[in-house]
Amino acid sequence: MQKKRKTDQALPSLVVITGLSGSGMSSATDAFEDLGYFCVDNLPVTMISTFGRLMVGDGDKPSAIERAVLVINIRERHFLPEFSAELKKLAKRGIVPFIVFFEAADDVLQRRFSETRRPHPAKHAKGLVASIKAERRAMIDVRRMADLIIDTSDHTVHTLRHLIVQKFSGNPDGQPLKVEIISFGHKYGNPRGLDLLFDVRHLPNPYFHRDLKALTGSDRPVVEFLEREKEVTETIDRVIDLLMYLLPLYQREGKSYLTVGIGCTGGRHRSVMVANAIGRALKKAKFNVTISHRDAEK
């Protein structure tokens, strides 16, 4: 079997997350899960090579797991003495894991443990500061094995997530932001889970025109009626400008989904037309956009 080298693959099939307690390993694991990795936390270190069997496959039978993340830290009592030996066993199976080591400054780790009130795993040391320093010393050899070292001292949960997504999604800009635009009628209640809501009840209402009442905002006569009104086109342009500014910022913070609501009275005419116009503009700007009309047929 040909050995899988880390340099042969843009995205590693097996990632081992380790590092200092309180350095953000749990937050990083959540980001890997969002990227489709099978994640196992607190795996006993002596089971690493056993887990590797699931990723190798058996003859013509494909592997049960294609991409995985194993989180192993000093809380696992066999970690330090057995880690290197288990990596060698993995290598014999043709798997060379990508090791990511997380760390942070002593004062940052101290603050994080003080805020969460969780005990530090290095209990034998006298006090929190001594425990942090003792763990850092104990992890020196593991740190030297790392393919990537991430210092989370200046990271928030969001910026750390974005960093992980950027490095392990296969997309240099990170995972694309998925935007859902929903038109709706206020009289039927607001959709749940909206991130942004724009009310367009200030626009002229086709409902009061006999020839347009039975149509929807997707029908050409309604679109032409609304496009003739300056406040309609100006409202659409201003909302598009705002979204063009906001969406890259949401993506930078690591947000995967953004739901935008466009509401009018009944959700049949104005909100439908405006949602369609905004959706087309965002798609033209290469955003990943879906459009739905909740109340257009009511």
- Interval 190-206: pLDDT, tens: 998 899 999 999 999 99
Q: Which residue type occupies 130?
A: A
Q: Hey, where are the domains in the chain?
A: 6-168, 178-293
- Interval 210-264: pLDDT, tens: 999 999 999 999 999 999 999 999 999 999 999 999 998 887 776 778 999 999 9
Residue 3 has pLDDT above 80, yes or no: no
- Mean pLDDT, residues 171-175 taken together: 59
Confidence at residue 7, expressed as pLDDT on a 0 to 100 scale: 36
Residue 28 has pLDDT above 80, yes or no: yes
- Interval 64-85: pLDDT, tens: 788 899 998 887 777 888 888 8
> Percentage helix, strand, coil, to 5, in the chain?
45, 20, 40
| pTM score | 0.62
CATH homologous superfamily, domain 6-168? P-loop containing nucleotide triphosphate hydrolases (3.40.50.300)
Mean pLDDT of the residues in the chain = 87
Confidence at residue 59, expressed as pLDDT on a 0 to 100 scale: 58
Residue 168 has pLDDT above 90, yes or no: no
The dihedral formed by the CA atoms of 247, 249, 250 and 254, expressed in degrees to the nearest 10: 130
